Amino acid sequence: MTEIKHKAFIFDATRCIDCRACMVACSVENNIPMNKTRIWVAGDGVIGKFPVLESASMVYHCMHCEEPDCLSACPVGAYTKREDGPVIYDPNKCIGCRYCMNACPFGVPHFDYDKGLVEGAFIDKCTMCPQRVDVGLEPACVATCPTDALVFGERDELLVEAHARIQAHPKSYIDHVYGEFENGGTSYLILSHVPFSELGLPDIGSLPVKDVSEKVMGYTIPFALSWTAVLSMVATGVHLYNKKNEKPEPQEETMEESK
């Protein structure tokens, strides 16, 4: 995992003040209509009992997995994983089957349910702002975050940084960087002071969820070929056997039928 060299985010839940400026910045940068968004603020909001109150909210967008399940699931290959990190969706290939939405364990890809055939209904998701990153800028959400809850940089450096923050304030954090290994590793690393489930993150192992289905898919062609061979042999065998026994059989059959 440490060899991966590309861009990533840190999200630090202890710093998030739930101002949602990232949502606005994202929508403006990417021309997202008012009724849609590529970022959600998940989590329980204010938690605890007065006077001991805490807030737990999380900025939620595409995790840009190292081994994306959407990419594995898409029948027409509309998804690609760029070398420098982002998982990119190509609307020109999409057939609108929405299997990527089922495949993504984080529920990230969203669909245009309000568009007909003429306008075209597509999937929408975070792109890691390549139009900004390519010219040396940070993604819009990161650039606008007033409390530095979002940080952008090289993944390996950010991992060091994340662990350093936990080391420096072990009481303020849960000792785990969500996304370091989850689902095969993601490019969105999350630090939190509350259990990750309270931030709305699924409990996922280090194997990406596509693992089993890709293994099964690997058996398809060998299975199809051997199954064809087996069926052909059975059919030939049965045919030859029946031909050999053709003469005595009709008598038996008529016997049975006459009963």
Partner 1 sequence: MNMNTSIQQRFRLPVLVWVLLGLMGFSFVVAMVRYIVGIGAISDLSNSYPWGFWISLDLFTGVAIGSGAFVIAAIVYIFELKEFQPLVKPAVLTGFLGYIMVVVSLLVDLGHPERIYYMLIHTNHTSVLLEIGICVMSYLTVLAIEFSPVVFEGLKWDKWAHLIHKFIMPFVILGVVLSTLHQSSLGSLLLIESTKLHPLWWTSILPIMFFVSALAIGLGMVIFESTLSSRYFKRGLESHLLEKLAKAIPVILAIYLVLKFGELIWAGDLHYLFTSGTMSILFWAEILISSVIPLVWFSIKRLRENPNSLLTGAIILLLGMIFNRFNVSWFAIQHPDPTTYIPTFMSNVKYIPTIPEMAISIGIFSAGILAFGLAAKYLPVFEDEPHPGSTPAGD
- In the bound state with partner 1, the residue whose beta carbon lies nearer, of 31 and 220, is 220
C-beta of 111 vs 153, nearer to partner 1? 111
Is residue 172 within 8 A of residue 56, CB to CB? The reply is no
Determine if 33 is a binding residue for partner 1 (CB under 8 A): no
* Start-end of H helices in the chain: 21-29, 69-73, 99-103, 130-133, 140-144, 155-168, 211-218, 220-244, 248-258
130 binds partner 1 (CB under 8 A): no
In angstroms, the CA 71 to CA 62 distance is 13
What's the one-letter identity of residue 10?
A: I
The window from 49-57, 162-170, 173-181, 194-202 that contacts partner 1 (CB under 8 A) reads 194-202
Please pick, from the candidates 9, 11, 106, 188, the single residue that binds partner 1 as defined by CB under 8 A: 106
Residue 78 token pair: 């509309």
CA distances from 101 to 4, 36, 94 (A): 26, 16, 13
**Residue 244 lies near partner 1 (rule: CB under 8 A):** no
* Binder among 5, 238, 245, 249 for partner 1 (CB under 8 A): 238
Nearest 5 degrees, angle CA 84-CA 85-CA 89? 110
- Between 28 and 216, name the residue whose CB sits nearer to partner 1: 216
| Chain centroid, CA 150 distance in Å | 20
In the complex, minimum distance from the CB of residue 174 to partner 1, in angstroms, rounded to a whole number: 16
Q: State the residues that interact with partner 1 by CB under 8 A.
A: 40, 42, 60, 69, 71-78, 93-99, 101-103, 105-108, 110-122, 197, 200-204, 209-210, 212-214, 216-217, 220, 223-224, 227-228, 231-232, 234-235, 238-239, 242
